[in-house]
Amino acid sequence: MQTPRPSLNALRAFEATARLRSMTAAADELSVTHGAVSRHIRSLEELFGLPLLVRGPNSTDPTDEGARLAEGLASAFSTIQKSIEQLRPGPLTLSCSTSIMMYWLIPRISRFHEAHPGVDLQFNMNFGQIDVVRDKIAVAIRNTMIQAPPNVVVRELGVEWVGLVCSPEYLRSAGIKSVASLERARRLAPGTRPAAWQEWAAAAGHPALSLAPDESFDHFYLMIQAVLCGLGIAPVPRLLVMDDLRSGKLVAPFGFVPGPHKLMLWTAPHLQTRPDTRAITSWLLEEFRRSERADALALPATRPAAKSAGTGANKGANKGAARRAASGAGARSARSG
């Protein structure tokens, strides 16, 4: 007697539940009701004659047999999705953090649209792990803190330069004249990088300096806003604050140094030959190189300031950098970068 074949919808409901450890989350992902997911999984358990899930009060975990089934299903659905996208590609989706989107990509993306008016570009706001097939992502900008998924094509965008920034008013009021004076400053940090202060200290040549943050913000863009409002001083990647440094809204009293992380570009392997994927990949690689050149021209002194550096000297250096960025070839590069 032939064994009945399980429903494809039931298999999808089970794979999503096993992966997300939640029927509710699986129902949201599949745009169905919790009851529908529960019925699908129960039908599979009846068909196979064994439990596939261990249902707990706070999570739903697969059994050993369920885990093996879920692993095979995930691979099969990924293969199906890749095959469909190769024949009927969807919109081009770029994934990056909200902070990179706000401070680096949005001021530049019009140039991509002008060069490639026929490309339908969409965005995925995310700075963590992704599945390029399941999440339908063609390219992603990520920090090397995040491990790349298997098989994605990885290219280096550049080293992440980091430095301490604050408002000119806070620099004066807090009396920040040397690295030692940071101990009495109000130190802000991004919640996504709890070791940001230690990383900056080590990169800047002060590995023995122990500075714990006084306040943490969930995202870089929130922390940058707090710094702009004069609430303290914070370690920030240079590419996120260049416009504010050029305008004089922020100062970098100790310059910028190459940090321990790099920015990388991930490309989905099954989409890398698409013309629109090649277009956005080439544009991002060139735009990051252009941006690095413009930043170096605008702020040529990208070394830690001397320990005895004073407030007035740092203000003058930042004003000088802003003036240099506002004139000559450096300004033209900055505006086009």
Q: Where are the domains of the chain?
A: 8-87, 92-159+263-277, 161-256+294-336
- The angle formed by the CA atoms of residues 181, 186 and 189, to the nearest 5 degrees, is 115
Query: Which of 183, 184, 203 is closest to 193 using CA atoms?
Result: 203
The string of DSSP letters for 80-103 reads HHHHHHHHS---EEEEE-HHHIII
Answer whether CATH 3.30.750.24 is correct for domain 8-87: no
For residue 26, the Cα-to-chain-centroid distance in whole angstroms is 25
Domains 92-159+263-277 and 161-256+294-336 belong to one CATH topology = yes
pLDDT for res 82: 74
From first to last of the 337 residues of the chain, give the pLDDT tens digit. 566 789 999 999 999 999 999 999 999 999 999 999 999 999 999 999 999 999 888 889 999 999 999 999 998 998 887 777 666 567 899 999 999 999 999 999 999 999 999 899 999 998 888 988 888 899 999 999 999 998 899 999 999 999 999 999 999 999 999 999 999 999 999 999 999 999 999 999 999 998 999 999 999 999 999 999 999 999 999 999 999 999 999 999 999 999 999 999 999 998 999 999 999 999 999 999 999 888 888 775 444 443 433 333 344 434 443 333 333 333 333 333 3
Query: Which class for 58: exposed (0-12), middle (13-18), buried (19 or more C-beta within 10 A)?
Result: exposed
Task: Tell me if 302 sits within 8 A of 256, measured CB to CB.
Answer: yes
Give the pair of three-digit tokens for residue 145: 């803190």
For residue 54, the Cα-to-chain-centroid distance in whole angstroms is 34
Taking the model in full, what pTM does it have? 0.68
Query: Which of 28, 36, 73, 67 is closest to 51 using CA atoms?
Result: 67
Task: Tell me if 106 sits within 8 A of 239, measured CB to CB.
Answer: no
Distance CA(69)–CA(77), nearest Å, equals: 12
Answer whether CATH 3.40.190.10 is correct for domain 92-159+263-277: yes
Distance CA(279)–CA(272), nearest Å, equals: 10
Query: Which of 329, 20, 314, 275 is closest to 177 using CA atoms?
Result: 314
pLDDT for res 79: 83
Distance CA(100)–CA(172), nearest Å, equals: 29
SS3 state at 105? helix
Q: Where are the alpha helices (DSSP H) in 88-163?
A: 98-100, 109-115
**In angstroms, what is the C-alpha Rg of the chain?**
25
pLDDT for res 86: 63
Quickly name the fold that domain 161-256+294-336 has: D-Maltodextrin-Binding Protein; domain 2 (3.40.190)
